[in-house]
Amino acid sequence: MLLSASEGRHWRYEVCEHEDGYLVQMRDLTTGDLDDEFSTIFRTLPVAFAYAEMSAAYERYAACELEHVQDEQIEFDVEATERHFIDLSDRLHDSGINGVVIQAWERESQRGQARLLH
């Protein structure tokens, strides 16, 4: 279930429920495709929200840099969202786990146990 979304210039950062916590995933605004390489799972919802906001702010900032546009508000947003994420992450001891790592763990657990013979 989608809980919230933060939009950057080209991507939307969605916070969804996940069996292990809260998943932040990145969706292309033009095509609607998910980026399989970008997903992070957090144990706490406030940290997941803060991470999505920070990611969207970074993307807007990077887009302005590429277009050589000066926007002090975007620079302020990046600093504010980064401070907010770091503060929450530190206080709640939740730095997140990359979704690719979770997928690897799930694949390994589905393989079954390998027996070692000595």
Its domain, for residue 70, covers 2-111
Decide if 118 is inside a domain.
no
Decide if 116 is inside a domain.
no
Tally the domains of the chain: 1
CA angle (5, 10, 15) in 5-degree steps? 20
Name, in order, each residue with C-beta under 8 angstroms of 58's C-beta and a sequence gap of 6 or more.
Answer: 8, 78, 82
pTM (2 d.p.):
0.83
Decide if 97 is inside a domain.
yes
Number of helices (H) and strands (E) in the chain: give both, helices first.
3, 5
Name the residue among 51, 50, 59 with its Cα closest to residue 98: 51
Tokens describing residue 74 = 């975007």
Name the residue among 27, 28, 20 with its Cα closest to residue 45: 20
Helix, coil or strand: residue 117: coil
Decide if 117 is inside a domain.
no
Decide if 33 is inside a domain.
yes
Residue by residue, pLDDT tens for the chain (118 residues) are: 889 999 999 999 999 999 889 999 999 999 999 997 889 999 999 999 999 999 999 999 998 888 777 778 888 999 999 999 999 999 999 999 887 777 777 777 777 666 666 6
Decide if 30 is inside a domain.
yes
Q: CA distances (Å), 67 to each of 5, 48, 60, 90, 108, in order?
A: 24, 29, 11, 34, 43
Decide if 72 is inside a domain.
yes
Decide if 17 is inside a domain.
yes
CB-based contact 9:69 (threshold 8 Å): no
